[in-house]
Amino acid sequence: MRLSYPPAPSYYAASVASSATLAADAAPRHRETLRGEHSVDVAVLGGGIAGCSVALHLAQRGYRVALLEARVVGFGASGRSGGQTIFGLAASQKALAAEIGRDDARRLFDMSIEALDLTQSLIGRYAIDCDYRANHVHVAVKARHLGELADWARELHEDYGYSSARLVDRDELQAHVRSERYLGGLIDPRSGHLHPLKFTQGMAGAAETAGAQIFENSQVLRYEDGPEVIVHTAHGTVRCAHLVLCGNAYLGSVAPTLARRILGVGTYIIATEPLGEDRVRALLPSNAAIADINWILDYFRSSADHRLLFGGRVSYSAMQPPRLAESMRRRMLRIFPTLGDAKVAYSWGGYLDITMSRAPNFGRLAPNVFYAQGFSGHGMSLTSLAGKLLAEAIAGTAERFDVFARIPHRDFPGGRLLRRPSLVMAMLYYRLRDLL
C-alpha cells in the first residue's frame, strides 16, 4: 500500500509560516526542483533530519552533495513529530544484547546519548532557533508500570552507567506534571523537546551554508546501480559516486527490499489554542516533555507560545481515524480535565517508520549505496547521529555505522497485501494489555 502525504497542516508549519510573516529573514528559503543532468560525489534521498545531517556532515568534509526531497524539507516525520529527544532506542537494551551481544548493545546505548549531545551541539553551533527545552519524563499509568520503571532505572544505572535518569515518586512528579493519572516517573534532564520543523529547516540551512545543494519537489523515481550511481527524478538525473537513502516510510518502490523491512504507522497530534503561560505552567511546571509507557502511549508537552501539544493513538491500517480531533481531545481530558474549555486549534498526523524489532535498520544495498531507516519513534535525535555516522562510513571510517548495521532485521510477514492486516490483528494484544 502506497502511503499518501498527510494533507492537514500542522501547528509546526503554521507557526513557521506565522513567524515568517513577522520577519522576512525567517521565511523558509525557496529551493529549486532538480532539472537537467548533475554530477556530485554523494546524492541523498530525503529531506528529513537524517538526510540533512548526512548532507551537512559530508559537505563539511568537502564532498559535493545533492539532497533530493520529494516535497519540501521537513514535510515528513522530521517536521511533524512529537519533538521529543529521548535517550536510548525504541528496542529494549535486553533485546539488543540478545541479538548482537552486550558490548555492541552498550555501544548503541552510548551512541544514543551522543545523539542527545549532538542535537544540542548542532543547535548551538548553527544558532538553530527551535525552542529547545530540557527534561523528559516517562510516567507510570498503573502499578505494574512502577516496577517496570524501577527495573529500567536499575538497568540504566548498573549496566549502562547512565545516572542522569532517576526515579521520582508521585509527590515529586507533581513538580513536572500535575495530573492525578500518574503514579510516578523516570525523569531525564539530558533528554528534552524542541520544535521539529524549525530544527529540520535549521539543519537544511546549515547544510547549504556548508556547500550542499538541496532540491525540493524532486521525487526520486529510481536509481541505477554501478560504480557510478545514476539517480532519476521526473525532470533530471544525478550521477554520483555514493547514494544515501533516507526516505524511511516514504521510500516506496525506490528500494523494495528496504520497504519490506519497515511499516509506516500513523501517529497523531493536536495543539490547543494558546492557554497563557500561567495556565500551562499549572499543568507542566518544569516545562518537561511527558510520555507514558503504555504500548499505545500518550505524549505531550507545551509549545513556545503556551499551547498544549498532545499526541497519541496510532493507526496500523494507514487510514486516519475518524473524528481525530475529538478523540484526541478526549484522551487529553483524561489527563487534564481542567482543559474542558480549551479549543483544539490544530490536528494532524504523519507516519513513523517502525521495524519488526523496533531497532533502527542501517546498512548497504551495494558498496556505494547506504541507508538508514526504522527509527521507530526515537528518531528526533538519533537521525542527526545517523547522518553523522553515514558521513563517517562514506569517508572510510565505518566502525560505528557497522555497529548499527549488525542488528539483524526481518521483513514484516504477510507480503504486500497482508502485512498490514496481520499487524493490525497482532496489535490488538498490546491494546488489550494496556487496559490491564
pTM of the model: 0.93
Does the CA dihedral 282-286-288-291 come out positive or negative? negative
Report residue 242's pLDDT band, with 50, 70 and 90 as the boundaries. Answer: very high
Q: Residue 104 region, left (φ>0) first, then alpha (ψ -120 to 50), else beta?
A: alpha
**For residues 123-150, average pLDDT:** 98
Which grid cell sits at 237? 538525473
- Give the pLDDT confidence score for residue 1 in this predicted structure: 42
| Burial class (CB within 10 angstroms; exposed 0-12, middle 13-18, buried 19+) of 71 | middle
Distance from C-alpha of 255 to C-alpha of 370, rounded to nearest angstrom: 11
Q: What is the pLDDT of residue 241?
A: 98
CATH superfamily, domain at 11-426: FAD/NAD(P)-binding domain (3.50.50.60)
d(CA 369, CA 382): 20
pLDDT for 265 equals 85
The reported pLDDT for the residue numbered 228 is 98
When the pLDDT of each residue in the chain is averaged and rounded to a whole number, the result is: 92
| Highest mean pLDDT of the ranges 12-21, 124-133, 252-261 | 124-133
Distance CA 281, CA 302 (A): 9
CA nearest neighbour of 283 among 270, 295, 304, 301:
301
CA–CA distance, 311 with 328 (Å, rounded to integer): 8
CA distance 40 to 194: 33
| Angular region, 194: left φ>0, alpha ψ -120 to 50, beta rest | beta
Q: If pLDDT is split at 50, 70 and 90, which confidence band does 323 have?
A: confident
Average pLDDT estimate for 226-235: 98
Phi-psi category of 233—alpha, beta or left, where left has phi over 0 and alpha has psi -120 to 50?
beta
The owner of cell 572510510 is 396
Domain coordinates of the chain in residue numbers?
A: 11-426
The CB-side HSE value for 11 (13 A sphere, CA atoms) comes to 26
Mean pLDDT of 234-249: 97
In sequence order, the β-bridge partners of residue 246 are none
Distance between CA atoms of residues 215 and 203, nearest Å: 14
Chain position carrying cell 525567517:
26
- What share of the chain in percent tops pLDDT 70? 89
Query: For the chain, how long is the longest CA-to-CA vector?
Result: 63
- Look at the block and give the residue holding cell 505524549: 299
Rg (CA), the chain: 21
